[in-house]
Amino acid sequence: MFTTEDIKKRTYRGETHFKIDENRDWLRTPLGGSINHSIDSNAEINLVEENIRGLTTKRDIGKDEKIMVFLRFTRVLNCLITHNPVYRYLSI
């Protein structure tokens, strides 16, 4: 996703994920599904309300620059099926 205008540091850009209740996994919004990923991120996804995550810029971002977040790896052990660790991305 590229910017169409300059965006200032610490600007909230919108909801990326939401939960209907604590028994369900996070659901992505269209914004959450279109964010690029990079170790050199210029934005972050944080909890903004109890069941809502949102995108906020970490630094000034220039026009036509990609908005990118860093995804952390979470290790999930799945011994019953594969006997090997399975890695998956989480945007938290």
> Where do the domains of the chain lie?
12-90
Q: Distance between CA 35 and CA 43 in Å, rounded?
A: 10
Q: What was the pLDDT predicted at 22?
A: 80
**Residues 27-85: pLDDT tens digits?**
999 999 888 888 899 999 999 998 999 999 999 999 999 999 987 654 443 333 444 44
**CB 24 within 8 Å of CB 51:** no
Give the number of other CB atoms < 10 A from CB of residue 54: 20
**CB 34 within 8 Å of CB 1:** yes
Residue 4 to residues 50, 62, 85, Cα–Cα distance (Å): 30, 9, 41
Q: What was the pLDDT predicted at 74?
A: 45
Lowest mean pLDDT among 17-21, 23-27, 33-37, 88-92: 88-92
Which pTM does this prediction carry?
A: 0.74
Kindly tell me the sign of the dihedral angle through the C-alpha atoms of 14, 19, 25, 29: negative
